[in-house]
C-alpha cells in the first residue's frame, strides 16, 4: 500500500514537472517562432565594377555567386537582377556654390555629361548654400533645361558651412519626380566640414555620420568629385577623407586627382556614367529591424560589388517611394542659421 502511495506521488511530481517545463519552454518556443517569421525581403542597389578599366561590359553574374552577410552572419539571397531603364534613375548634381569662380571652367564637361544621359534618367541640379541645398532645377527628362541653369559659383567663401548639412538637407527634401529604383547624388565640393571643431580628419565627425545615416535610410547613393578650393594639405586630406567615408557608406565613389585639382572632369564623368548603368537590385532575407550592417560578396574574379554599408530591413527599391514636399526652387535661404541646420 505504501509503495502504491509513493508511486502515485512520484507520478504527480513527474506530471507537475512536465507542466512546469512546458510553461518555461512556451516563451522560448514562441520567441523562436517569432524569430522565424520576422524574416523580411529587403532590397538594395548594388553597383558592379569590373577590375579592368578597359572592360566593355560586365560579365554575367549568377545569383548563386552573390552572397550577403547581415551583421556578419550569412543570409539568403532571393533575388538578383539588373536594374533596367524602365525602373528609372534619379540623379541630383550638387555643386558647392562657394567654390572659386574658375571652377566653372569644368561646368561645360558636366553639361556634356548630362546631355549624354538617357531620357530615362531624371536629372536635377542643386547648389550648396549656407548649410542648405537650393534646388535650381527639379527632376526633368529634358536635360537641356538642366544644362541652362548651371551658373558660375556666386556665394562668398565659407557660405557653405558644411557640405554634410547640405547633403542631409537634400536627402530630407528630395525633389519630386517619377518613382525610380535608383537615387544618386554627385557632389562637387572640397568636402571640408568647417562647422565641426578641429582642423584634422575625425572618423567620428557627427555631421558626416549623420549625412551617411540619412542617405542610407533614404537609399541614396552618394558619389563626389573632390575639388580643392582652399586650405592647406591637412584640411585637404580631411575633406577628401570625409567624402570617401560618405561614398563607402552609401555605395558610391569619390573621384580625385592625386595632386591638386584635376585637369579635367571628363574621365571621372565617363566612369560615373558607367556606374549609373551597371546597377543591380539585390533581394535578401533580412532578420533584424531598422538599419542593419550588410556586406555583399561575390566569387567572381573579374568584378567587385559596391553597396551601402547599411540598409533598412524590409525596404523595397522597386516600389514607389513617398517623396517629401519640395522646397522653393531657385531661392537662396540667406536667413538660415547654421545652427538651425544641425540634425
Q: What are the residue ranges of CATH 3.40.50.410 in the chain? A: 89-267+322-341
Q: What is the pLDDT of residues 250-306, one digit of tens each?
A: 999 999 987 778 899 999 999 999 999 999 999 999 999 999 999 999 988 889 999
Spatial separation of the C-alpha atoms in residues 29 and 216, rounded to whole Å:
34
Model confidence pLDDT, tens digit, residues 161-213: 789 999 999 999 999 999 999 999 999 999 998 887 666 889 999 999 999 99
Fold type of domain 89-267+322-341: Rossmann fold (3.40.50)
**For the residues 299-318, what does the mean pLDDT come to?**
93
Residues 6 or more apart whose CB falls under 8 angstroms from that of 173 comprise 133, 324, 325, 326, 327
Over the chain, what is the mean pLDDT?
83
Per DSSP, what are the bridge partners of residue 90?
A: 122, 183
Residues linked to residue 294 through DSSP beta bridges, in sequence order: 70
| pLDDT per position as a tens digit, 212-238 | 999 999 999 999 999 987 655 556 788
Angstrom distance (rounded) from CA 154 to CA 100: 9
d(CA 181, CA 312): 15
Amino acid at each position: 500500500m505504501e509503495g502504491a502511495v509513493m508511486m502515485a506521488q512520484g507520478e504527480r511530481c513527474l506530471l507537475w514537472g512536465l507542466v512546469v517545463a512546458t510553461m518555461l519552454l512556451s516563451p522560448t518556443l514562441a520567441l523562436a517562432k517569432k524569430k522565424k517569421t520576422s524574416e523580411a525581403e529587403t532590397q538594395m542597389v548594388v553597383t558592379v565594377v569590373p577590375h579592368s578599366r578597359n572592360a566593355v561590359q560586365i560579365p554575367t553574374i549568377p545569383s548563386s555567386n552573390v552572397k550577403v552577410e547581415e551583421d556578419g552572419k550569412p543570409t539568403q539571397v532571393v533575388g538578383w537582377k539588373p536594374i533596367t531603364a524602365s525602373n528609372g534613375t534619379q540623379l541630383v548634381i550638387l555643386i558647392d556654390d562657394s567654390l572659386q569662380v574658375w571652377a566653372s571652367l569644368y561646368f561645360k564637361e558636366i553639361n556634356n555629361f548630362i546631355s549624354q544621359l538617357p531620357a530615362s534618367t531624371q536629372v536635377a541640379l542643386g547648389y550648396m548654400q549656407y548649410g542648405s541645398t537650393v534646388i535650381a532645377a527639379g527632376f526633368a527628362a529634358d536635360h537641356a533645361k538642366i544644362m541652362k541653369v548651371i551658373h558660375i559659383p556666386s556665394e562668398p567663401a565659407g557660405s557653405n558651412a558644411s557640405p554634410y548639412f547640405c547633403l542631409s538637407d537634400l536627402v530630407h527634401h528630395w525633389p519630386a519626380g517619377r518613382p525610380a529604383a535608383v537615387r544618386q547624388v554627385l557632389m562637387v565640393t572640397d568636402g571640408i566640414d568647417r562647422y565641426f571643431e578641429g582642423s584634422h580628419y575625425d572618423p567620428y565627425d557627427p555631421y558626416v555620420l549623420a549625412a551617411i545615416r540619412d542617405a542610407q535610410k533614404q537609399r541614396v547613393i552618394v558619389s563626389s568629385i573632390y575639388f580643392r578650393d582652399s586650405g592647406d594639405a591637412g584640411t585637404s586630406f580631411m575633406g577628401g577623407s570625409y567624402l570617401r567615408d560618405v561614398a563607402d557608406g552609401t555605395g558610391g565613389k569619390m573621384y580625385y586627382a592625386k595632386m591638386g585639382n584635376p585637369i579635367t572632369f571628363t574621365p571621372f564623368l565617363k566612369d560615373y556614367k558607367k556606374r549609373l548603368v551597371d546597377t543591380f537590385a539585390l533581394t535578401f532575407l533580412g532578420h533584424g529591424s531598422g538599419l542593419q550592417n550588410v556586406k555583399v560578396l561575390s566569387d567572381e574574379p573579374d568584378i567587385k560589388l559596391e553597396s551601402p554599408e547599411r540598409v533598412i530591413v524590409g525596404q523595397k527599391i522597386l516600389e514607389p517611394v513617398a517623396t517629401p514636399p519640395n522646397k522653393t526652387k531657385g531661392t537662396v535661404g540667406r536667413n538660415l542659421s547654421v545652427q538651425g541646420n544641425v540634425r
